[in-house]
Amino acid sequence: MFDEWSTRAAASVKERESHQFTPADFFGTQEPTQPYLTYWNETIDRTFELAKICRRHVTSELWVWSVWHRRRGTPLSRIEHDIPDRIAAVCEDTLYRKWRAGLGVLGLQTSALHSGTTALEMASPHTWVSEAWRIAVAEEVPQFLAEFLLPALDKVPARSGRIPPMPISHKNRDAVDRFIQRVFVATGEKILRAEISLVAGYQSPTELKRYQRGAKNLNRTAKREIERVLSLSPPEFLKQLHRQ
């Protein structure tokens, strides 16, 4: 069910484009003025910030719901069974009440049938609005569930009282999301987290996953290499990726 909503939310994401992404893709042959480019870049940044707010809302809601059930004595197996329906409900609510409403505030009104599709995107080969949702929500929530939520629930004590805050930091994850955004906006290339790991010198995504969740067992070399990759310019990253 969650996959259905992920697919719907990312329905307007097009296949990877082979040409370089330039302002001409959006403005034609006439170069836009600097003030308009500044506004353009700020709008893209705000769109991705909105997507991160949606992600925090979804993950926080799932944390509170799961801990509440765990403290009531609900077996972990039952929570695992029921949580896909809960994810679908929370994502649906977030999609309409926060994502689409937020896009409206930003002046990026969405189509009634295709959430995340704007008039500007319909005339464009690149869909950064849908890409923002994909990067921050559609890809992140399943990882959050598998890598953090379910393992953490096993350690939640069955007692009453206030639900503890979610013990997870999004700082490093936001840095990775931001890099994926930069590459997409600058080049039109939709890169994968596995490709970031590859350029950092790792065939397995394990070290990047540790970096994203701020794990204590992340070694210094892995941290240095991942942050080196995140500091690359989009063209240089793609150049190194194609050497792999």
Tens digits of per-residue pLDDT, 93-140? 998 899 888 888 877 754 433 444 443 443 343 466 777 888 888 888
DSSP letter assigned to residue 1: -
pLDDT for 159 beyond 80:
no
Whether residues 207 and 185 share a domain: the answer is yes
Residue 155 tokens read as 């350690």
Any idea how long the chain is?
Answer: 244
Whether residues 78 and 144 share a domain: the answer is yes
CA–CA separation, 133 vs 104, rounded Å? 15
Whether residues 9 and 110 share a domain: the answer is yes
Handedness of CA 133, 135, 136, 141 (dihedral sign): positive
Whether residues 101 and 144 share a domain: the answer is yes
19 found inside a domain = no
pLDDT tens by residue, 166-224:
766 677 888 898 898 888 878 878 888 999 999 999 988 889 988 988 888 888 899 99
Q: Please give the pLDDT value at position 85.
A: 93
Say which residue the tokens 């990759």 belong to. Answer: 229
Instruction: Sort 161 into a burial class: Cβ within 10 Å, 0-12 / 13-18 / 19+.
Output: exposed
18 found inside a domain = no
Q: Please give the pLDDT value at position 5.
A: 43
Whether residues 138 and 230 share a domain: the answer is no
121 found inside a domain = yes
Whether residues 77 and 180 share a domain: the answer is no
Whether residues 149 and 173 share a domain: the answer is no
The reported pTM is 0.67
H/E stretch holding 110 = none
Whether residues 149 and 44 share a domain: the answer is yes
CATH number for position 234: 1.10.260
Whether residues 175 and 146 share a domain: the answer is no
216 found inside a domain = yes
pLDDT for 2 beyond 70:
no
- The domain boundary residue, chosen from 122, 145, 166: 166
Whether residues 225 and 161 share a domain: the answer is no
Whether residues 158 and 173 share a domain: the answer is no
23 found inside a domain = no
Domain count, the chain: 2
What average pLDDT score do residues 146-161 get? Answer: 76
CA–CA separation, 101 vs 54, rounded Å? 11
State the DSSP string of 46-101: HHHHHHHHHHHHHHHHHHHHHHHHHHTT--HHHHHHHHHHHHHHHHHHHIIIIIIH
- The domain boundary residue, chosen from 128, 146, 166: 166
Q: Please give the pLDDT value at position 198.
A: 94
- The domain boundary residue, chosen from 166, 188, 218: 166
22 found inside a domain = no
CA–CA separation, 71 vs 164, rounded Å? 11
Domain ranges, residue 121: 1-13+32-166
Residue 10 tokens read as 């990312």
Whether residues 191 and 89 share a domain: the answer is no
24 found inside a domain = no
Can you say how many angstroms the Cα of residue 130 is from the centroid of all Cα atoms in its chain? 10
pLDDT tens by residue, 14-38:
333 334 444 444 444 445 455 555 6
86 found inside a domain = yes
